[in-house]
Structure 1
């Protein structure tokens, strides 16, 4: 549809121009709604593969070997379908949307190599999780871009509720993966516990935003099936307060969290359907009125007369969406930092073990020795530890 410039001073011409703009926006939402369905399906499979991969890695390949391979195969098939279904870059989409889609496609392209390295045992659980998180984060970031210029209050509200919900579901998935690391290994470090708490707090904020915008029926469904159950809360307390017995709670934790995520997935599909129905109804309403229909013009003027309608709805809701996106990105960066910290700790622990074995030091003495060398040479302790391990071949055998 081509929009011509309205003649100056012609109210009805401006009315027609506004309607044409609304039709274009709502048609775009229907396209985004279709993509949101594909995105949510692909994200769900990525979340499943991430969890299975974590358990497989942390158990040394003893658990979830078949589940990991099957989930990877399903994700690869869904990725191929998602990529094949994308149209040529249309001019109607914003530059920001196209940029985010490019990032998402790039992240998906990295996963086949990750899977190969993972199968060869070259990837730690935290690194694998970080790679899956990156792909999921870029895919989810596509959803709020659709609301950038929307003027339909109901559609913007539905889109914001959907995005808040999808963010919350992803944080539940990250909680499942982090818990799998700790329960499989039989311990939660202080950093891992903090990461777990951050995910729990983050999902609660996202779901609170979703519940504030959702209809009563959807709210009731969420409270019935989407909340963490009592047993999950008990396992959370174990993870955050004391050492679990190695491996005993892994499968139960994963089962409970998977059951919750699957229930959230059903609700997510319902939200996408509701959003598309809202957009379709709004589009039909816009198209229904005849261009010269005076009552339609009068109703349109009346609907825009109140002070409440004077402010575009996305001015109030988009900051919330963007804040949630920033929080998820921050948590992902924190996870990458945690991965680096854990790897450095392993190097330091190996150097301490070397001093204990060859110098007869206690663990505390070995730590103090590494610390003193680092201070004397003005270098980081991990650098001293790496240098010591490099020269370990020159140390005399016991």
Structure 2
């Protein structure tokens, strides 16, 4: 509640001062609305990444076994991925493809565009896997590129966040998901090596590439606030 002194002072503000005050409040509201939108997108992207990682694992086993194993599990994971994709597209359409959201960050929109290009290719990738016309190695690489594009969206959302607390949480989430992805990729390359009974040069190179960054990602995550880590672990 304003005091009598504040009310009296407010009556002496010039018209320009009042207009700038209102403009500042509107700008603050706009920033908070954009932050809220970005956080909702991050949640949808997180769910999409998790679903694709599970789909990637089931697809690898399906391809490595020449279709003899994990056909049912793969179908289940594809269904979950489609649900996550539908939710993500719905969120993106409602938040960014309207006349009222023409001030979105261009870097974030560019990262979303690149991620959607990869998602648009998913039906072709799944059809090739179903027909066993795709090698496990090529399948792994395709899914890895897709997940990398989605992780870029989270990185950009964290980079442009205006609230320091939210920024720290988003950075912690990005590092957690990146470490999780590195572990998943290392496991995928290990599966390919076991399936072939030999460590091919591609598997060795990929495993070494994804093993090193995890030693950097996890310490970054552990520097985040404890409550943030606890929430991330529930993911």
TM-score bracket for the superposition, by shorter chain length = 0.7 to 0.9
Report matched runs for 1:28-107 at 5 Å: 28-86=34-92, 87=94, 88-89=97-98, 90-107=101-118
**1:153 corresponds to 2:164:** yes
Residue 82 to residue 185, structure 1, CA distance change in 2 (3 Å): same
Residue 107 to residue 154, structure 1, CA distance change in 2 (3 Å): same
Contact 2:67 2:132 in 1 (8 A): no
Residues 252-282 of structure 1, C-alpha deviations (whole Å, 9 max, x = no match)? xxxxxxxxxxxxx96264xxxxxxxxxxxxx
Report matched runs for 1:354-369 at 5 Å: none
Report matched runs for 1:112-191 at 5 Å: 112-191=123-202
**1:267 corresponds to 2:233:** yes
Q: Aligned Cα RMSD in Å?
A: 2.6
Match of 1:194 in 2: 205
Match of 1:27 in 2: 33
- SS class of match (2:134): coil
* Aligned-pair CA distance for 1:50: 0.6
Contact 2:108 2:153 in 1 (8 A): yes
Alpha-carbon distance in structure 2 between the residues aligned to 1:215 and 1:152: 15
Alpha-carbon distance in structure 1 between the residues aligned to 2:70 and 2:157: 38
* Aligned-pair CA distance for 1:26: 2.6
Residues 305-341 of structure 1, C-alpha deviations (whole Å, 9 max, x = no match)? xxxxxxxxxxxxxxxxxxxxxxxxxxxxxxxxxxxxx
Q: Number of residue pairs matched? A: 216
5+ residue gaps in structure 2? 1-13
* Aligned-pair CA distance for 1:143: 1.6
Contact 1:171 1:199 in 2 (8 A): yes
- SS class of match (2:176): helix
* Aligned-pair CA distance for 1:191: 3.4
- The structure number with the bigger radius of gyration is 1
* Aligned-pair CA distance for 1:13: 7.6
Residue 157 to residue 18, structure 1, CA distance change in 2 (3 Å): farther
Contact 1:51 1:177 in 2 (8 A): yes
* Aligned-pair CA distance for 1:17: 5.2
* Aligned-pair CA distance for 1:184: 2.5
* Aligned-pair CA distance for 1:105: 1.5
Q: What TM-score comes out, normalization by structure 1 length?
A: 0.49
